[in-house]
Amino acid sequence: MPTPTKTLGNWGEQRATEFLEKLGYQIIDRNFRYGHGEIDIIADDKGMLVFVEVKTQKSDAMGEAFTWVTRKKQRQIGRVALAYLTVNGIKDRDCRFDVIAVAKGLNGVEIKHIVNAFWL
C-alpha cells in the first residue's frame, strides 16, 4: 500500500503530466528509474528532450516546492538522464531540465513550471 507521501507525489505527477500535455508536450516516459534515482517525466517539446522533476506540496510550511531541487538532487537527475540517453541510444539531441511545482491547496491546484531550471 502506498504511503501518503507517495500517493501525493503520484497525484502531483499526474497533474504535471496533464499540464505539459495541454502545452503541447509529448510525454515519452514516466518514472524512469536508474540506480537510486528517478526522473518523474521525460517529454518532447518541439524536438527538445525535456527531463522534468516534479515536486508536490500540500502546505507552504517547507517553502516553495521548486526550491527542494538541491544541487545534489540536480546531479542525481543528471546521472539518471545520462543513463536514459545511453540505454535508449540517443545521441546529438538537445536536452534540458525543467522543474514543476504542484501545490494542492484550498483554492485548488497551483502549478509553477520552471523551464530550463538548471544546467549540469
Q: What pLDDT score does 68 carry?
A: 73
Task: Quickly name the fold that domain 4-118 has.
Answer: Trna Endonuclease; Chain: A, domain 1 (3.40.1350)
Q: What pLDDT score does 120 carry?
A: 79
Helix (H, G, I), strand (E, B) or coil at 83: helix
**Entry pTM:** 0.90
Question: For the chain, which residues make up each domain, given as ranges?
Answer: 4-118
Q: How confident is the model at residue 73 (pLDDT cuts 50, 70, 90)?
A: very high
Q: What pLDDT score does 62 carry?
A: 54
